Every structure is written in C-alpha cells, then in structure tokens.
C-alpha cells in the first residue's frame, strides 16, 4: 500500500447522516490537538499495543532519514490508554492529510474511565504500508529518533511530548518509556 493514504481513507467510511463520531488518539493526537472537537475524554482500547514502528517521512523525518512515530500492533491482553475526541466528520478532511503517511482509519470499541463504552475511529499504520519500519531494539529506535528531524520538528520532541502526555494520563507504556530513557540518558536528543 502506498504511504499516502488520503484518498484511501476518504473512501473507507460514509459519514452521511453522522453528526459526530469518536476518534481515539494514542500518539501525537494526545498532545497536538490542532483540530476542533466537541468533547474529549481519556479512553482505552484493548488488544492493541503502542509501538514506534512507523516511519515518518513527512513530519518527524525526511524520505532520506525517516523518523519513527507510533502505530498500534495487535497484542492480546494489552490495553492502550489514550484520548478520545468527539468530532464532526468534517474534521477528517484535515486529519486524513495530517495522518496520510501510511495510516488508515479503523473502527474500534473504546472504554472510558467511568466504565462506559463507545465505538470510534482510530488511525493505524499497518505493516503493509510503504513507511512501516517494524520492530527494532529500543536502543536502536532511540538512536534513530535522536538523529531524525522533519518539517514538524525533531523526532525526539515527538517522543518526549508523548511520554509526558502518557504520564499525565497515568498511562503505562513500557515501550515508550524505555525509548525515552535511552534518549534522556544520551547527550544527544535531536
């Protein structure tokens, strides 16, 4: 699948008659909320793990030196905490462009902190997209992040802001925190 997923996403869902829908954010959508929303609530999705396995050629890296950003990978028994936003469907005109580098919209059940549930959409970069980098040892991921920057800034800024945001949500993400420890432990942070 091509890395640019804008048109593919626009053909995946029909929002006719839909006034609002939930969107689950687990990466930069937690802290970089540059879109209008009607409501936001911490939420969790189950069976998915946050991983720095997606290449960023357009935001936190370049085609020659891609950064690494998070995607979700299936992992039974795991919970991924993030932020859910109730948005108007027209917000996806913007978000499909922002998340165009290999991310597709999928439906997902979400659980809110009060125990209530809702269905929403989530952007996931699957392993069949051209920008997918896959598993690597966390120190190697940290080194790649430390050396990458793109139009949206240093890749290390993405990692550190995400780690801080996860702590504010009281979310446990050993993968993110291990990479953060490598970055903070080195003298190079992008």
pLDDT tens sequence across 53-65: 999 999 999 999 9
Task: Confirm whether 1 is domain-assigned.
Answer: no
Asked, for residue 29, whether it belongs to a domain, the answer is yes
The catalytic site residues sit at 99
**pTM of the predicted structure, to 2 decimals:** 0.93
**Predicted confidence (pLDDT) at residue 1 exceeds the cutoff of 60:** no
Q: Which domain holds residue 179?
A: 6-185
- From the CB of residue 36, how many other CB atoms can be counted at a distance below 10 Å? 11
Assess contact for 75 and 37: CB atoms under 8 A. no
State what percent of residues in the chain have pLDDT above 90: 84
CA–CA distance, 58 with 63 (Å, rounded to integer): 7
Residue 86, helix vs strand vs coil:
strand
Residue 124, domain CATH: 3.10.490.10
As a whole number, the mean pLDDT across the chain is 93
Portion of the chain with pLDDT greater than 70, in percent: 96
- Residue-wise pLDDT for 29-62, tens only, equals 999 999 999 999 999 999 999 999 999 999 999 9
CB 132 within 8 A of CB 126: yes
């Amino acid at each position: 699948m091509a890395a640019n997923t804008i048109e593919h996403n626009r053909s995946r869902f029909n929002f006719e008659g839909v006034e609002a829908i939930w969107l689950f954010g687990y990466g930069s959508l937690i802290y970089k909320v540059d879109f209008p929303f009607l409501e936001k609530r911490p939420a969790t999705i189950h069976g998915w793990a946050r991983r720095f396995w997606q290449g960023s050629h357009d935001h936190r890296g370049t085609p020659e030196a891609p950064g690494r950003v998070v995607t979700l990978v299936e992992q039974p028994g795991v919970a991924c905490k993030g932020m859910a936003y109730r948005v108007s469907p027209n917000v996806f005109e913007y978000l499909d462009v922002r998340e165009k580098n290999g991310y597709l919209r999928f439906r997902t059940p979400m659980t809110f902190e009060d125990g209530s549930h809702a269905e929403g959409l989530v952007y996931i970069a699957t392993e069949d997209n051209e920008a997918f980098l896959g598993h690597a040892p966390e120190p190697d991921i940290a080194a790649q992040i430390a050396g990458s920057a793109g139009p949206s800034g240093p890749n290390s800024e993405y990692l550190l802001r995400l780690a801080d945001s996860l702590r504010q949500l009281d979310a446990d993400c050993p993968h993110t925190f291990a990479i953060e420890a490598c970055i903070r432990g080195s003298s190079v942070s992008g």
